[in-house]
Amino acid sequence: MDHSLAHKFLLFSPVDSDSSIRNLLRAKTIGRGLVMKFAPRMSRFKASPSQIASARVRDMVANGHDIVKLTAGEPDFPTPDNAKAAAIACMDANEIRYTPINGLPEMRHAAQFKFKRDNGLEYALDQIAVGSGTKQILFNCLMATVSKGDEIIIPAPYWASYPDMVQLAGGTPTIVNCSQNNQFKMRPEQLAEAITANTKWLMFSSPSNPTGATYSLDELKALAEVLAAHPHVYILTDDVYEHLIYDDRTFHTLAEVEPALYDRTVTCNGVSKGYSMTGWRVGFAGGPKDIIANMSKMQSQSTSGSSAVSQAAAVAALTGPQEFVVERTANLQLRRDILFDKLNKSKGLKCDLPGGAMYIFCSCAGNIGKKAPNGKLIETDEDFTMYLLNSVGVAVVQGNAYGLSPFFRASFVAPEADLIRGGDKIQEACAALS
């Protein structure tokens, strides 16, 4: 026991080490100064549910349980070789110091080039933001622009971080429920109904996490028409799943579909999903100069510029050969089909084939109200996912984490053998309910 430390922080005089320990324990409960009063903002959002689910699974695996994990939120392919080589060259050249807050010039050029090549969008260099992941880019944008009273439209099911980020920024999420019978897509009339004088942003993502909903050109045009009629609404599109798109679909983004929206759209993207580079933490955006400048200002007092090594890798991925992206997507499509078939043949489950991303958002409505073999009633999607985990060792994430119940999200980023085994186990668990 370090008496001087105990004395300094606990405001009592230790007599001997035993009583010091006793006092330490007592101080935990009575010492006023020891209980941290957390900032009110901390109660405005929750920890990521998929990360909680992953941690639970990690604990079970560490304790010897055989778990089939259908929770992955990242592709399982390696980082492209040219990106790795660029990172190594960057380290070898010792170009690993602080970087400009808003990205290295090479990275901003690469993002500019990508927007033009893939999306037909032209941005000047001062219209490009670079940060440590798409998530940070979205966060910077909301923190820089949202005030109390601002409403942000979020179609549900949504990526769990959206409403929490909005609340953290002090805004109010306006949730628009998008039903399974419209493949979880927002209809133009729903968007029109949700817009008020206080609407600041529409937060939009296609393909979507958790549903894989992928809007066609016509569907985007219909939404764009509504937005064009409401010039006070800004658009924050999260295109991180752009390249994970199936069945010969073509990707489109709102600023490209309707040029009238260009001046009020921030188009966000990153290398995480399309290039399997989640851990490198590079995201970027194109948008109006003043918004980009304020996003950069926000970043200047948090993380500063993204790592030089990561940016070097991202530049190589974005500007190098792109054929492998298509091959990887074809591989993911095969895995999607395996899991889809298994889920749809399970009693009480119903899902549609997702057009993009890496997830199937499956209804378990047919199993709500049923009883597990141990007599436990399945009342919610959380009960159902816990039942799958505890009875057959399959991990998925409950739909309420994404704003729609009773559903669950199953990721098809898993080895084929696991998709088959996991799917069979889900069928077995569903058949055992009565």
Summarize as ranges the residues that interact with ligand PLP (CB under 6 A): 73, 133-135, 159, 205, 209, 238, 240, 270, 272, 278, 283
Min dist CB 394 to ligand PLP, Å, is 21
Min dist CB 386 to ligand PLP, Å, is 22
User: Which residue number has the CB closest to ligand PLP?
Assistant: 133
Min dist CB 306 to ligand PLP, Å, is 11
The answer for residues whose C-beta is within 8 angstroms of residue 153's C-beta and 6 or more apart is 174, 176, 191, 194, 195, 199, 201, 202, 203, 233
DSSP per residue, 274-309: TTT-GGG--EEEE--HHHHHHHHHHHHTTT-SPPHH
Question: Cα 365 from chain centroid?
Answer: 25
Sheet holding 359-363, edge to edge: 359-363, 407-411, 397-398
The smaller minimum CB distance to ligand PLP, of residues 317 and 372, is found at: 317
Min dist CB 160 to ligand PLP, Å, is 9
Three-class SS state of 381: helix
Give Dmax over CA atoms of the chain in angstroms.
78
The answer to whether the CB of 134 falls within 8 A of the CB of 238 is yes
CB atoms within 10 A of CB 208: 28
The smaller minimum CB distance to ligand PLP, of residues 284 and 387, is found at: 284
CA distance 290 to 53: 39
The answer to whether the CB of 365 falls within 8 A of the CB of 416 is no
The answer for residues whose C-beta is within 8 angstroms of residue 257's C-beta and 6 or more apart is 217, 220, 221, 224
Min dist CB 165 to ligand PLP, Å, is 10
The smaller minimum CB distance to ligand PLP, of residues 114 and 425, is found at: 114
The smaller minimum CB distance to ligand PLP, of residues 280 and 387, is found at: 280
C-alpha distances (whole Å) from 87 to each of 76, 277, 301 are 20, 12, 26
The smaller minimum CB distance to ligand PLP, of residues 209 and 400, is found at: 209
The smaller minimum CB distance to ligand PLP, of residues 360 and 378, is found at: 360
The smaller minimum CB distance to ligand PLP, of residues 354 and 393, is found at: 354
Min dist CB 34 to ligand PLP, Å, is 36
The smaller minimum CB distance to ligand PLP, of residues 177 and 196, is found at: 177
Min dist CB 361 to ligand PLP, Å, is 13
Place of tokens 């001046």: 263
Min dist CB 207 to ligand PLP, Å, is 9
The answer for residues whose C-beta is within 8 angstroms of residue 374's C-beta and 6 or more apart is none
Q: Which helix (H) or strand (E) covers residue 395, if one does?
A: strand 394-395
Structure token pair of residue 398: 């409950």
Angle between helices 105-119 and 308-319 (to 10 degrees): 30
Min dist CB 402 to ligand PLP, Å, is 10
The smaller minimum CB distance to ligand PLP, of residues 19 and 278, is found at: 278
